Chain A
Amino acid sequence: MEASSSISIEMIHWLAALVVLLPLFGSTIWFWAKKYLGEKWVGVLGTASVAIPFIAVCVLFFELNEPILVNFFSWITIDGKSLVDFSFRLDPLSLMLGLIVTGVGSLIHIYSSGYMHGDEGFGRFFSYLNLFVFSMMMLIWSDSLPAIFLGWEGVGLCSYLLISFWFKEEANASAGKKAFIVNRIGDFGFLIAMFCLYKAFGQLSVQEILAALKSSSLSPEQLELTSWACLGLVLGAAGKSAQIPLFVWLPDAMAGPTPVSALIHAATMVTAGVYLACRLQPLFILNAGSLEILAYIGAATAFFAATVAVFQNDIKKVLAYSTISQLGYMFMAVGLMAPTAAYFHLITHAFFKALLFLGAGSVIHGLHHEQDMTKMGGLRKKMPITFWTMTIGVLAIAGIPPLSGFVSKDAVMSVAKDSDRALIIFFAFATSFLTAFYMGRLWVMTFFGKFRGHHEAHESPAPMTFVLIVLAGLSVVGGLINWPHFLGGGEWLGHYFSKVVTENVSTSEHGLGILIFKVGMAVVALGLAFWKYRNFEGKDFKSSAFEIFRKKYYVDEIYDFVFVRNLRRLGEFQWKIVDQGIIDGLLNGSARWAQNVGERLRRLQTGQTQTYLLLMWLGLIVLLVGTWKGR
């Protein structure tokens, strides 16, 4: 047992609280303070709200040797017992991702101060970004499931707010709305999982639940509940991490400003699903079926998203589908019981995907908001820093050694190969080829050939290029954190996580042959892209046979036809036919019936004295006869 951390418990409490609360505090200020502080100070202080937490997380990362539970106060207490706590679990999983979130987050804040310069919503933007960091930290650090859920929905909210940031366009608002609602479907899954777990274990704390799983044997009822919980969690993760069937929000989310796409939809929020699966791994291990589902969903998503990415012309959409695809890789790795590989890829992906998105943002910014690659070209001379950093990003994601992307993708693909499942192996390798191809296509269409656009292009300002360089550096060296054994490395990340996750240790040998095959595949794909697009004129994939790929297999159209339209019809039916027709019909009908009866009875009142008298006589006769008979 190593010695406990060298800083006091109190200090840990303070640091952890600072990390979470400083961004929250910041978010309440920037949207109104911009008027008084000016753009520059909002940019600096807004970044500091995230950079200071980054330093705090670094301190915690280096000082804490053992997982620790930091308890603050109880959120919901019933009958004296705390149901939900605000407490943080600081262990390798959460600290590592905390570093990424605050670190990459700070970089993107710096970038945004350049990208959003002059936008009237500058202050609002930083408020939302800070709120996002708060929510994400709550998500990764919380120990109690509803507190995780607070972060979970919080990031969904920030996603909604930031996608529809330029709300004057109806399309942006709709994209944000779509993101929130599709995420909510995942949240529904999360909720059901929480209910099942509570019913099974009487606990909502992850630590307690995992302990319960470890200790005693479980009753069949508990096992059944945990399997439902796993399904719910899979649904939740699929929603958040844009996997089949809930990925449809991510491409539309590109309507938001590019820093948003980089931070939320590449580096952090979308990784929440993967993170949760790693955290709750013991739960999934109990239900091998759910792991299978995760693996297949991941692999399938990776492949199909990659096929769609090949045919997109909007630079951000290519990257969006690329993100979906890479997330698929992570899911696949988790499903195949290799959480370290998944997490490793998560980290490197954060680096190079953020780099790619921010680079794309730089291009878009430089071309005055042009996003169509068919109108780009030859930019490598006009935007050199962007070009070189993007090149590193492209090489990383394609899997060229010794960049970080190569190391992590290799780890993931090895796991896939070890799984001995033909479909998964096919998906994994085919995706890798396609990835290299479409990224190469993006690279060449944007930076090589003739310039096909209208405006004069220029390089981006310092805040943006600085960040690009830093991220490029990270993309290069990022592989070192888990440099594999067979290349002489120590697999530090694997060791770091070994205390908290269970792994399928890879048994097969890494032959040089397979390595060369993988790298060769990437090089071939890149070369193919270069050769095809180096003299690109402006029209691509003209044949209408490709429409199905371009239209992402018509998934959106199918969803609209099957679900959205029918829900609308159901609402109309419920309103017009049931509420107004049947229920109100009954009500108004009964009122009318009462009126009718009244009308008829009214005829008895003729006003004629003699009618009344006649009735009196008849009544009297009836009475007399009655009494006579009764006697």
Chain B
Amino acid sequence: MSFSIAHILFICFGLFVLGASGFLIRKNAISMLICLELMLNAVNISLVAFGRMHGNESGHALYFLVITVAACETAIALAIILNLFRLRRSIRLDDATVLKG
């Protein structure tokens, strides 16, 4: 069985959906972060796959860019969650509804 791009994309899609639904369902902030990373990784894999498809290495390059940005963003997110914990003694996002209308 030869791998085609479609197989990889299905995997990416599956991972992405898992990540997205997990993101929407989970209450724990860290869990949401993990799901967020899952979504990002899914997209990254698809980037590499496309790169392979076109035959150049731009997919790989972009992958590194995205990973870097993801790491920065994760750091900031963790800092926010830490502050939230200090404020609310809880990292369940259900409790952070100050902006409720």
A603 touches B101 (CB 8 A): yes
- Would you give the 0/1 interface string for A593-615, flagging 1 where the beta carbon is closer than 8 Å to chain B? 00000000111111111100110
A617 at the binding interface (Cβ < 8 Å): yes
Segment at the interface with A among B45-53, B63-71, B89-97: B89-97
* Contact flag A609-B93 (CB < 8 Å), given A602-B101, A603-B101, A604-B101: yes
Chain A residue at smallest Cβ distance from B23: A613
Question: B100 contacts which of A605, A613, A617 (Cβ < 8 Å)?
Answer: A605
- Would you give the 0/1 interface string for B8-39, flagging 1 where the beta carbon is closer than 8 Å to chain A? 00000000000010011000000000000000
B98 at the binding interface (Cβ < 8 Å): yes
Which A residues are CB-close (under 8 A) to B101?
601-607
Interface of B (DSSP majority class):
loop
A489 to chain B, nearest CB (A): 103
A607 touches B100 (CB 8 A): yes
B97 touches A608 (CB 8 A): yes
Chain B residue at smallest Cβ distance from A610: B24
- Which of B58-101 touch A at CB < 8 Å? 93-94, 96-101
Which A residues are CB-close (under 8 A) to B93?
608-610
Question: A613 contacts which of B24, B94, B96, B99 (Cβ < 8 Å)?
Answer: B24
Which B residues are CB-close (under 8 A) to A613?
23-24
Cα(A607)–Cα(B97), bound, Å = 4
Cα(A614)–Cα(B24), bound, Å = 7
A607 touches B24 (CB 8 A): no
B81 to chain A, nearest CB (A): 12
Cα(A237)–Cα(B24), bound, Å = 91
Chain A residue at smallest Cβ distance from B94: A608
Chain A residue at smallest Cβ distance from B101: A605
For chain A, the count of residues having a C-beta within 8 Å of the partner chain is: 13
Chain A residue at smallest Cβ distance from B97: A607
Chain B residue at smallest Cβ distance from A602: B101
- Which of A572-631 touch B at CB < 8 Å? 601-610, 613-614, 617
Cα(A610)–Cα(B32), bound, Å = 10
Which B residues are CB-close (under 8 A) to A605?
99-101
Question: B97 contacts which of A601, A602, A606 (Cβ < 8 Å)?
Answer: A606
B5 to chain A, nearest CB (A): 20
Chain A residue at smallest Cβ distance from B98: A607
B24 touches A606 (CB 8 A): no
Which B residues are CB-close (under 8 A) to A603?
101
Chain A residue at smallest Cβ distance from B100: A607
Cα(A305)–Cα(B23), bound, Å = 100
Cα(A601)–Cα(B96), bound, Å = 20
A606 touches B100 (CB 8 A): yes
Which A residues are CB-close (under 8 A) to B23?
613
Cα(A613)–Cα(B35), bound, Å = 14
Chain B residue at smallest Cβ distance from A598: B101
B83 to chain A, nearest CB (A): 15
Which A residues are CB-close (under 8 A) to B97?
606-608
A168 to chain B, nearest CB (A): 65
Cα(A610)–Cα(B26), bound, Å = 9
Cα(A304)–Cα(B53), bound, Å = 119
Cα(A608)–Cα(B92), bound, Å = 11
B99 touches A617 (CB 8 A): no
Which A residues are CB-close (under 8 A) to B24?
610, 613-614, 617
B55 to chain A, nearest CB (A): 28
Cα(A602)–Cα(B101), bound, Å = 5
Which B residues are CB-close (under 8 A) to A610?
24, 93
A609 touches B100 (CB 8 A): no
Cα(A92)–Cα(B99), bound, Å = 93
Which A residues are CB-close (under 8 A) to B20?
617
Chain B residue at smallest Cβ distance from A614: B24
Chain A residue at smallest Cβ distance from B26: A610
Which B residues are CB-close (under 8 A) to A601?
101
Which B residues are CB-close (under 8 A) to A607?
96-101
Which A residues are CB-close (under 8 A) to B96?
607, 609
A190 to chain B, nearest CB (A): 67
A416 to chain B, nearest CB (A): 89
Cα(A118)–Cα(B98), bound, Å = 83
Cα(A606)–Cα(B97), bound, Å = 7
Which B residues are CB-close (under 8 A) to A606?
97, 100-101
A617 to chain B, nearest CB (A): 7
B101 to chain A, nearest CB (A): 3
A603 to chain B, nearest CB (A): 7
4 A-B pairs closest in CB distance: A605-B101, A607-B97, A607-B100, A602-B101
Residues of chain B touching chain A, judged by Cβ–Cβ distance below 8 Å, are 20, 23-24, 93-94, 96-101
A-B contact pairs, 16 of them (CB 8 A): A601-B101, A602-B101, A603-B101, A604-B101, A605-B99, A605-B100, A606-B97, A606-B101, A607-B96, A607-B97, A607-B98, A607-B99, A607-B101, A608-B94, A608-B97, A617-B24
Starting from the known contacts A601-B101, A603-B101, 20 additional A-B residue pairs (CB-CB under 8 Å) come to A602-B101, A605-B100, A605-B101, A606-B97, A606-B100, A606-B101, A607-B96, A607-B98, A607-B100, A607-B101, A608-B93, A608-B94, A608-B97, A609-B93, A609-B96, A610-B24, A610-B93, A613-B23, A613-B24, A617-B20
